[in-house]
Amino acid sequence: MTAERLLTATGQPVQGPLLITPQVFADERGFFFESWNERCFRNDLMNDGVSAAEVECLQFRQDNHSRSSRGVLRGLHFQLLPEPQGKLVRCSVGSIFDVAVDLRSASPTYGQWVGTTLSADNHQQFWVPMGFAHGFLTLSDVAEVQYKASGFWNRDCERSLRWNDSTLAIQWPLQLAEVIEPLLTEKDAQAPMLSMLESMGEVFE
């Protein structure tokens, strides 16, 4: 496996999120790869500057699986303390554009985003650590997304950030999804802007 940082739209690397590319063994019969290896993942985090103590405390609490049709946008979601979540995301059917927004107020990239295409073809995974909002846009007719979460789902901690907040300026590839507007839940369509989350103290320190 290899892991790399992603760049913001302005070319700035963001510490935390990682794009993980597995080694795939393929031949005329099909393919095989390790979709999860704890030792490799922990090494990737430490190579990115995460302390050994923090890595040791990280455990995945639940696995989630979603199925979405073309043009569906889920997010941007995150959980606050005491049950924040890091997510290790992959797409096993179809393709998605996956996004993480830095909500760590002390971070030099606060309020900036990184994004990448995850697909059944590239087998890549996206690590979205605690302190980031996460969302994705479905690019294919159908996409199935699985992710490991480091915290349990907690309704009281769950928050959303508006997908089209102009201060974020996320470049969602709507043309690749072949839609003019994404398909959203009412909750996501009415999610607060970043400025409102700031005023309520609902960002990370």
Catalytic residues, by residue number, are 77, 147
H or E stretch including 4?
strand 2-4
SS3 46: helix
Q: Count of alpha carbons within 13 Å of 169, Cβ hemisphere only?
A: 5
DSSP code for 192: P
Helix ranges restricted to H, 48-116:
52-57
Cα 18 from Cα 49, distance rounded (Å)? 12
Cα 205 from Cα 101, distance rounded (Å)? 14
